[in-house]
């Protein structure tokens, strides 16, 4: 273990796993060097990349909060970033082993086995979508969303890009706006992310980003049943459909509709986690 890092609190992959995708989770910062980040195909779900050379600037640009930082192996780069954040008043934890799960020959073999034994969900970069992780992404879809066009933004915000921007435009303008804004088009004919056979856009986004965890797969079934009028796929599909249609009647403004539905999907995802055997839960004792 890196003894120089002993004074910074550690969080293990096992402890981090149930926090991912939750609205109350600490900020997750990927501080791998730019060259390392660019060369590798994934980042941990929900993380935001910050150039380690600019962590001080980042730390002083906003109010201090809870944060988890990680680098490649959990050693020098992440340690220095954590110290800078802590000096600026942030409550910092460091991911033990980094994204790689430790470094052979440096970390203890038992620690490496424990860290790599937990499969943290990771986002797969999509150059064809312009999804590189270096800059905030932009997503464009049809106006007046109900289910798929709310579920996809929820997934993006919670697991792919917390800084993503979403645009709702007339159906005839989606592809043109996406091209002009270098944005990801979704849930419309000809879009980069859309229905395929009996699967909906949420399914396509999960698959394309490599986020096929058990809880998200269960949520996808519920969304698919509600979005494609097949409530027999999951018992919760009818409820999601009813809530979505009711929210759409209440909120004529699309961004307001999205904000109103975010807690609904947060709650539904939490329930999905409770239904998956062996899935760690974010809040102990919450399940009756």
Quote the pLDDT of residue 286: 35
Q: What are the chain's domains?
A: 3-120 (3.40.250.10), 127-275 (no CATH)
* pLDDT level of residue 279 (50, 70, 90 thresholds): low
The answer to whether residue 204 scores a pLDDT higher than 70 is: yes
Tens-place pLDDT, residues 104-153 = 999 999 999 999 999 999 999 999 999 999 999 999 999 999 999 999 99
pLDDT of residue 82: 97
Query: What's the pLDDT tens digit per position in 50-95?
Result: 999 999 999 999 999 999 999 999 999 999 999 999 999 999 999 9
pLDDT at 2 over 50: no
By the 8 A CB rule, do 70 and 95 touch?
Answer: yes
Q: What is the mean pLDDT of residues 97-107?
A: 96
What's the pTM value of the predicted model, to 2 decimals?
0.93
The residues that bridge with 139 in the sheet, in sequence order, are 166, 184
């Amino acid at each position: 273990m890196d003894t120089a890092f002993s004074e910074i609190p550690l969080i293990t992959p096992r402890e981090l796993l149930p926090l991912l995708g939750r609205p109350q989770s600490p900020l997750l910062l990927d501080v791998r060097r730019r060259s390392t980040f660019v060369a590798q195909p994934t980042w941990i779900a929900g993380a935001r990349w910050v150039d380690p050379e600019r962590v001080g600037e980042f730390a002083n640009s906003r109010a201090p909060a809870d944060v988890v930082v990680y680098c490649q192996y959990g050693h020098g780069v992440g340690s220095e970033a954590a110290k800078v954040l802590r000096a600026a008043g942030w409550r910092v934890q460091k991911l033990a082993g980094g994204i790689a799960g430790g470094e052979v020959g440096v970390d203890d073999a038992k620690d490496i086995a424990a860290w790599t034994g937990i499969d943290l969900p990771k986002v797969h970069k999509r150059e064809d979508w312009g999804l590189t992780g270096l800059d905030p992404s932009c997503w464009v879809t049809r106006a007046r969303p109900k289910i798929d066009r709310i579920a996809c933004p929820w997934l993006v915000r919670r697991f792919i890009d917390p800084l993503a921007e979403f645009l709702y435009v007339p159906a005839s303008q989606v592809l043109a706006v996406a091209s002009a804004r270098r944005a990801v088009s979704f849930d419309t004919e000809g879009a980069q992310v859309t229905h395929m056979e009996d699967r909906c856009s949420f399914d396509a986004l999960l698959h394309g980003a490599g986020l096929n965890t058990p809880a998200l797969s269960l949520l996808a079934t519920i969304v698919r049943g509600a979005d494609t009028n097949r409530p027999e796929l999951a018992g919760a599909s009818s409820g999601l459909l009813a809530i979505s249609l009711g929210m759409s009647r209440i909120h004529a403004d699309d961004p307001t509709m999205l904000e109103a539905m975010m807690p609904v999907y947060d709650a539904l995802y939490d329930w999905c986690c409770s239904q998956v055997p062996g899935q760690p839960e974010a809040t102990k004792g919450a399940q009756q």
